[in-house]
Amino acid sequence: MNVSDAVKERTSIRAYLDKPVSETQLRELLDIARWAPSGGNLQPWRVHVVMGAGRDRLVAAVKKAIAENPLANESEIAVYPPKLGEPWRTRRFEIGEDMYALLGIPREDKPARIQHLMRNYEFFGAPVGLFFSVDRQFDKGQWAHLGMFMQTLALAATEMGLSTCMQEAWSARAKTVSAFLKLKDNEQLYCGMALGYADPSADVNKLRSSRARVADFADFITE
Ligand SMILES: Cc1cc2nc3c(=O)[nH]c(=O)nc-3n(C[C@H](O)[C@H](O)[C@H](O)COP(=O)(O)O)c2cc1C
């Protein structure tokens, strides 16, 4: 698989087969992802893998925390700005509507929409969950480098026939997850990622997001 194909083939997968991914595969994947670039070669990322009984324990711990306090928001980061302007607001709205249309959940059916959102906290059924953290001393630069690492990992996973879904949703349960992962005080959790084999029969996996045209986001200064 060439890089362009991997970039286009990677999509967010939100339903997985009950098919395990081995620790050997995970280590191989991380062994590729570690070649992601970072300013000053700081390699500021830390990765926390949950799989097997570890994954199930985490899912159970978060489920318990949600049952105890359903509305808690433990996020330290604003996943979106409070007043998301255009064109970003429309993009966010459209991808959400397209996803719920595939799932057959209308706008009025809030409980069903929430129920689907809650699937985030089961990694959408994926056998592996990854979490990414950075040291608290780092600013936006190193956070950007973490993003490069995550995308490199997702592309390498695609090449290995694996699927992923990055999940900022976990940040709403950052305290619970950080405690479970035994993160040190200086470590800040950013994001989760579901990883496994896509369920080809699931309608939600047919979701294809659109992208702005190059002319909409790129300026060329030629003289
Ligand atoms: C950092 C990051 C966090 C994301 N968090 C979530 C999430 O919590 N739940 C979810 O279902 N999708 C999540 N997504 C997936 C985005 O909705 C998706 O990437 C976007 O709509 C583009 O679709 P594509 O990934 O299929 O190309 C996240 C994506 C990124 C890059």
Q: Could you tell me the CA-to-CA distances from 213 to 121, 148, 166 in Å, in that order?
A: 33, 22, 23
Structural domain count, the chain:
1
Does residue 215 belong to any structural domain of this protein? no
214 belongs to a structural domain:
no
Residues 129, 55 contacting (CB under 8 angstroms): yes
Nearest CA to ligand 1 atom 10: 167
Residue 71 CA, ligand 1 centroid: distance in Å: 22
Cis before 87 (ω within 30):
yes
What confidence tens digit (pLDDT) does each residue in 41-91 have? 999 999 999 999 999 999 999 999 999 999 999 999 999 999 999 999 999
- Residue 95 in any domain: the answer is yes
Q: Which residue has the tokens 């409980």?
A: 111
Asked, for residue 212, whether it belongs to a domain, the answer is no
Distance (Å) from CA 209 to ligand 1 centroid: 10
Question: Does residue 218 lie in a domain region?
Answer: no
Distance, in Å, from the CA atom of 187 to the CA atom of 189, rounded to the nearest integer, reads: 7
Each residue's pLDDT tens digit, 198-219: 999 999 999 999 999 999 999 9
With a Cβ cut-off of 6 Å, ligand 1 is lined by: 11-12, 14, 95, 120, 165-169, 191, 209
Is 49 within the bounds of a domain?
yes
Q: What is the CATH number of the domain that holds 38?
A: 3.40.109.10
Domain around 195 = 3-77+84-207
Q: Does residue 70 lie within any of the structural domains?
A: yes
Find the helix packing angle between 52-68 and 174-181, rounded to 10°: 140
Task: Classify residue 198: in a domain, yes or no.
Answer: yes
Proportion of the chain above pLDDT 90, given as a percent: 98
**What is the atom index within ligand 1 of the atom nearest the CA of 209?**
23
With contact defined as beta carbons under 8 Å apart, do 149 and 45 qualify? yes
